[in-house]
Structure 1
Amino acid sequence: MVSARLSFLTTAWGTEDLIGATIESVQAQTCPDWELVVVDNGESDAMAEVVGRYAADDARICLVRQPNRGYRGGVMTAAGAASGEFVCVLDSDDMLLPRFVERVLAVFDAEPGVAAVGVDAHRFGEPDVSVNLPVDYMASVGVHHPPSADTPLTLVDVLSGCVPYYCAAIRRSAWDAVEGYDPQGTGMPDVDESVIIWCRLVRDFDVRLLPEALARYRLRSDSLSRDPARVERFENELMRSFQAGAGTSLSAEEAAALDSTLRRLRYQQQIRRSRHALLDGDAAAARIAAREAFRLRRTARAGTIYAGLCVAPGALTRIHPAKQAITARTEVALGRLRKSSA
C-alpha cells in the first residue's frame, strides 16, 4: 500500500453487497492523496473477495482480516494498519462526495493548528439510494445553525447536541492522544464512541466543522428505527454517551448544556413511548408517557398529546397512522424534487 496523507478506517461485517459503493466513492475523490484500510471484521470470504478485487487494481486499498472484534475493535485494527498523517472513520455502507478529501485537507493546510475537521452529510435510504432525503444529517439531529468553520467547536457546542457527523478527518497525533475508538477507553461497552471522541477532542484541540455536506449517510431498511426495542437501547446508549463524554469536571455552562440535551433526549423517548403504547391500544401507558414528556419539556406537542389522551384517545389512534403515511410520502417526494433540480 502506498503512503498517503489521509487514511480511511473501514470496518466491514455483513455489508458485502454495499461496500463496493463505499470503495468507489473513495476512489472518486478529486484529491488522490488517500489510502483505504478495510478490516474484514469476521473473516468473511465473500467480503475478502469483494474488497480484494478493488485492492488488486488500486495499491491505495489494503485488506486486513481478523475475527469479529466488534465495531470499535475493527476501527482500531484499521488505525493500527494506517500510515496517514490524518485518519477518518468511514463505515462500510456509507459514501463520500468527490471533494471530501480535497476540502478537509485544505482546512489543515490553511490552519496547521487545527486537529480535526468535521462535515455535514446527505442522508439517503432504500430502495432508491441515488436520492438524497430532504433533511441533511446535522439538521436531522436538531442542529440548524452550526458554528462557523472559522470558530473552534467547544464542549458546550457538543454537549448541546452539535455532534458532527462521525466521518471526520482527525490529525493522527490528536487521534492517538484521545485514544481513538479504544474499546477499553471508556470502560463502558454500550456507548456511542463518536460522541465520546468529539467530547475528548474539543476539550484539548482546535476542532472545526465545515457546513458542507461532503458525505452520504445510509438509512438502511433494517435500521433500528423500525424496531422499538432497538430504538430504546439506542436512546439509552446515546444518553450514557453524553454523560461519559462530559466527565465530571464541568463548568456551569457545560453542565447546563448537558442537562438540556439529556432532558431533550428523555423527552423524545417519552413521546415515542407514548406513541407506541397508543398504537398498541394501551391508552393508560400512553397517557403516563405523554405526561412525563410534558414534565420534561412543556411543549405544545407534548401538551396536545397529553390532553388528547385524556379526552379522546381513540381519535389519536386513528389520526397517527394517516399522519405517518403522509409524512413518509412527502419526504420521498421532496427528495426526488431535490435530485431533479440539482
Structure 2
Amino acid sequence: MRTRIYVIVMLITAAFAACHKEVASLFRGFEKPANFNTPAYKLENNPVTEAGFVLGRKLFYEPRLSRNNTISCGSCHIQSSAFTQHGHDVSHGIDDRLGSRNSPPIMNLAWSPLLMWDGGVFDLDLQPIVPITNHVEMDETVENVISKLQQHPDYPGMFRQAFGSPEITTARLLKALSQFMVMCISSNSKYDSVVRGQGTVFTSDEQAGYEIFKTKCSACHAEPLFTDNSFRNNGLSIANNNDEGRYTVTLNAADRYRFKVPSLRNLAYTAPYMHDGRFYTLDAVFDHYSRQVKNTPNLDALLQRNGVLGITLTTAERVQLLAFLQTLNDRQFITDPRFSEQ
C-alpha cells in the first residue's frame, strides 16, 4: 500500500515538474521579429530577464496599484482584446469613473518613441505613473503603491529575484512593468508569415487589398508596425469635450486636434476605433474616410487633395481592403499564455 502511494506521489510530482518546466520554457527573452526594425526602447538600460518579466506580469495584473485595490493595468488592457478595454468607447477606471479617451492597445511598445494618444510620455519606464496617479484611472500615489507592495508576502522576494535585493523602489517598479510590456510583441499574423516567406500566401482579395493599402493608407500606417508613430488630424468632427489632442502636451497651435496614428494590427479585437472610440465597426471607419472627413483645424494634408476631403474607396475596394486588414490579426498574441494573468 505504501509503495503504491509512493508511486502515485512520485508521478504527480513528476507531472508537476514537467508542467512547470513547460511553462518556464515559454520564456525566451526579448526577440526582435525578423521583419521589424530596431526598437526605440533602450533595452540595454533594462535587459529583460525571466524574473523581471514574471514580476512585471504580476504587477500588471495587480489591483493594489489603485487606491481601493480594485483596478489593475489589466482591467483596461485585456489580453483577449489585444490589451484594450473591449466594448467601451472611453476607458472605465476606479469607481467606474469615465475617462475621455479609448484605451490604446499594449503591443509593440518597444518600437514606440512616444506613448499615449497625445504623446505625453516619452519613456515607457515612466508611462505607468500616469494611470496610477490619474484621478479617473487608479487615483493612487506611487508611494502608497510601494508601501502596499512592501507589505505583501510575495513581492519582496520577487524583487530580490529580479533586481538582486528585496528593496522596492519606484525605478524598480516601473522597470519591471516595462519588462512585461516590451515583451508584448504582436508579429505572428498571416501578413507576417507572408512577408517573412514562411510558405503562406495572400488570397486574390487580400493581395488586391494590400495594393490598395499601399496606395491609400501606408503613408500614415507604415509597415511593419502599421503606424508611423506620428500625430495627425484625421478629420473627425470635434467632440463635445473638445479634446485637443497633442496640443495639450506641446501647446503648439499646429498640434491642435492631432492624435497618434494607431496601429492597424489586431483590428478584429480592438473595437471600438479612434481616440474616443466613436466607431464600433470598420465599415464606420471606411465611411468616415470616404465621405465624412471634416475640414477641422490642422487637417492632415493627405486628406485634402485637389479640393477633395478624405480617401476615395469604391465598394469593391472596401471589400478587398477589409480582406487585407484581416490578415493583420494575430490570434497567437491574444492567447499567448506568457501574457495572461497567472
Regarding TM over 0.5, the answer is: no
Q: Which has the higher contact order (CA 8 A, sep 6+)?
A: 2
The two structures have a TM-score, normalised by structure 1, of 0.29
Q: Whose helix fraction is larger, Structure 1's or Structure 2's?
A: 1
The two structures have a TM-score, normalised by structure 2, of 0.29
Q: Whose strand fraction is larger, Structure 1's or Structure 2's?
A: 1
